[in-house]
């Protein structure tokens, strides 16, 4: 067997999720479908790359952060008047 050192030993296919995959994941996490659609379209427009231009390897990790940011309660202001 001859090894070609000019080719990578492991070729990873970048396969983005379908809109149905994203909606299913958002539903599973209790997030609205509208957020799933927004998430999908934002990353589809970016060709499933990060802000640094790297392909997103695990879209669910990115989706989890997105969902966490929309489901967390708003932060209370430190300058609220005391009652």
pLDDT tens, 40-58? Answer: 999 999 999 999 999 999 9
Alpha carbon 76 to its chain centroid, in Å, reads 27
Question: Tokens 């990873």 correspond to what residue?
Answer: 12
Question: What's the average model confidence in pLDDT over 1-8?
Answer: 47
Whole-model pTM? 0.71
- Other beta carbons within 10 angstroms of residue 66's beta carbon come to 20
Q: What is the mean pLDDT of residues 71-75?
A: 73
Report the pLDDT averaged over residues 7-36: 83
């Amino acid at each position: 067997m001859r090894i070609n050192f000019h080719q990578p030993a492991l070729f990873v296919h970048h396969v983005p999720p379908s809109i149905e995959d994203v909606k299913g994941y958002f539903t599973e996490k209790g997030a609205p479908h509208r957020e799933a659609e927004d998430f999908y379209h934002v990353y589809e427009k970016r060709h499933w790359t990060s802000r640094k231009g790297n392909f997103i390897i695990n879209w669910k990790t990115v989706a989890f952060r997105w969902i966490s940011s929309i489901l967390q309660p708003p932060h209370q202001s430190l300058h609220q008047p005391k009652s």
